[in-house]
Amino acid sequence: MFVIFGAAGHVGWMSAAALRRAGREVRAVVRHEEQGGPLAAIGCEIAVADLNDAVSVARAIEGAHAVQMLCPLPRAHADPAAAMRKMIDASVAAVRAAAPPRVLALSDYGAEHPDRTGITTLFHYLETQLRTIDAQLTFLRAAEHMHNWARMLPMALANGVLPSLHHPLDKLFPTVAAEDVGVLAAELLLDTSAPQTSPRVVSVEGDRRVSALDVARTLAEVSGRPVVAQEVPRGEWATVLRHAGLGDHHARLITDLYDAHNAGRIDVEAGVSERRFGATPLAQVLAALLPGVSATAAR
């Protein structure tokens, strides 16, 4: 049995679907029962669990041969970092007690750094806690997800300006499509062909690096509207993020993350990671996001 946490999300769905295509039994773990319908339709067993509740996590992984872990940032919480660490503690305690043979954790570029990387520091904490588990561990560190630009699209399409915290605008950075992460995660869960060190660290990004200028140019091409990238001045980051609805703690996580990005600290860990590359282009991801933006604008 392969247990996939966060199975209703972009990455989890692709992992569950790939494992089902390979003929494997999959238990798809979701937060709310109504999220399970599409997963049940492709043959998944559905489990409902709250990552803050070690008991429900333990039930979800009972009898698992392999577990794919996802601990998302609780964006709506007043202190997302504290809430995520609590989630990690509870879920890792459950996995430690059950001791499934294989565990794959979805992590981030830069997770080797213990501090000064904002949100990515929390994935360092996740990896550190998981190292206490007696299992074959894989840390799949993904570059910035292309889907993250979704929250900027309404503004960019309405005003023709794509705000960017990536400085300078022509700086190339790694990015990846969520579907490529999900498919690779399934491949790694199925890979028992060679002896592995534990933890096995694998990085994944797209086949080419992009800049904020590239993102704006691509968005203009797929939308048919003029879009230009614009640096958000460093001194205005916190104000802009708070105006976007983020609390002070969440805004600090974002500003610390992009400070680290712009300093070149969010990248592949030299000499440690196996490197993999996704094939989904940025244009395909942005084009798929546009109908959702149009539907929101129409309401």
> Which whole number is the average pLDDT over 53-69?
95
Question: In which element (H, E) is residue 28 found?
Answer: strand 26-30
Residue 237, pLDDT score: 95
Q: Measured between alpha carbons, how far is 230 from 216 in angstroms, rounded to an integer? A: 9
Q: For the whole model, what pTM was predicted?
A: 0.94
| DSSP conformational letter for 135 | S
Residue count of the chain, please give it: 299
Q: pLDDT band at residue 75, thresholds of 50, 70 and 90?
A: confident
Distance CA 144, CA 284 (A): 16
The residue type of 258 is Y
Average pLDDT, the chain: 94
**Whether pLDDT at 5 is above 80:** yes
When mean pLDDT is compared across 45-49, 71-75, 140-144, 177-181, the lowest value belongs to 71-75
Q: What is the pLDDT of residue 143?
A: 98
295 confidence band (pLDDT: 50, 70, 90): very low
pLDDT at 192: 84
User: From 3.20.20.210, 3.50.50.60, 2.70.98.30, 3.40.50.720, which CATH number describes the 2-145+175-206+264-278 domain?
Assistant: 3.40.50.720
- Alpha-helical (H) ranges within the chain are 10-21, 37-41, 54-60, 80-98, 119-130, 153-159, 178-190, 212-223, 237-243, 248-262, 282-298
